[in-house]
Chain A
Amino acid sequence: QSVLTQPPSVSAAPGQKVTISCSGSSSNIGNHYVSWYQQVPGTAPKLLIYDDNERPSGIPDRFSGSKSGTSATLDISGLQTGDEADYYCGTWDRSLSDGYVFGTGTTVTVL
């Protein structure tokens, strides 16, 4: 069971906005940068956001990340059918594991 909790699923109509939360603790999100990954079924994950709110080259600004305390959030605005995918948060964790941890994952459905 992951130490980072995400809602199992979120959905919205095309053009709308969805928000995905990632809840952790002081041993992970509270003291380390958060990344977000998109995984379209059957394909490799893709980095969407790093260092809490930075976008790699080529990622549209419809994707934005933020963090407050021990929780992080990924916002997807102007939702498109191509955004249907699983989304995972990730960060370093310095509890017993002292390693990288991924969130439980959230499936985004475009209605």
Chain B
Amino acid sequence: EVQLVQSGAEVKKPGESLKISCTTSGYRFTSYWIAWVRQMPGKGLEWMGMIAPFDSDTRYSPSFQGQVTISADKSINTAYLQWSGLKASDTAIYSCARSPRIGATTNFDFWGQGTMVTVSS
């Protein structure tokens, strides 16, 4: 059974750093891309970027380039999303999702349960 299990909810202060995780099981981790998707309170889905765990090839949305870092550790089948200086506007639910391909045929067939990140002073 394919599973993507994310780390728990976080409450942080502005300026703090954070790294959330997405641990996968039930499939070959290096054969699929992992994407991160943001959903701000009451808003829609936003693609942040995605990584190929096989070789760590990473693509970012221009909206998130330089704001976050996506990484993966194929030894433990886990992908990460991290911030070095959180802002209140980073308050959102962050979800990881698996894609068999990148480009014209990208689709996200399995999703994590989401991690709520709250940034407040």
A and B are partners in one complex rather than unrelated chains: yes
Residues of A within 8 A of B (CB): 2, 31-33, 35, 37, 39, 44-47, 50-51, 56, 86, 88, 90-92, 96-105
Q: A32-B104, A44-B112 are in contact. List 13 more A-B contacts (CB 8 A).
A: A32-B106, A33-B105, A37-B45, A45-B37, A50-B107, A88-B44, A90-B45, A92-B106, A96-B62, A99-B59, A99-B61, A102-B46, A105-B44
CB-defined contacts of A97 to chain B, threshold 8 Å = 61-63
Q: Determine if B32 is an interface residue (Cβ-Cβ < 8 Å).
A: no
Residues of B within 8 A of A (CB): 35, 37, 44-47, 49-50, 59-63, 95, 97, 103-114
CB-defined contacts of A35 to chain B, threshold 8 Å = 106-108
With both chains docked as a complex, state the minimum distance between the C-beta of B79 and any C-beta of chain A, in angstroms: 15
- Check if B113 sits within 8 Å of A88, measured CB to CB: no
- Check if B44 sits within 8 Å of A90, measured CB to CB: no
With both chains docked as a complex, state the minimum distance between the C-beta of B104 and any C-beta of chain A, in angstroms: 4
- Check if A33 sits within 8 Å of B107, measured CB to CB: yes
A90 to B111, alpha carbons, bound, how many Å? Answer: 15
A6 to B108, alpha carbons, bound, how many Å? Answer: 19
CB-defined contacts of A102 to chain B, threshold 8 Å = 37, 44-47
Interface centre among A92, A100, A103 (most CB of B within 10 A): A100
CB-defined contacts of A44 to chain B, threshold 8 Å = 95, 111-114
Chain A residue nearest in CB terms to B46: A102
CB-defined contacts of B106 to chain A, threshold 8 Å = 32-33, 35, 90-92, 100
CB-defined contacts of B61 to chain A, threshold 8 Å = 97, 99-100
CB-defined contacts of A100 to chain B, threshold 8 Å = 35, 47, 50, 61, 106
A56 to B111, alpha carbons, bound, how many Å? Answer: 14
CB-defined contacts of A50 to chain B, threshold 8 Å = 107, 109
A100 to B33, alpha carbons, bound, how many Å? Answer: 13
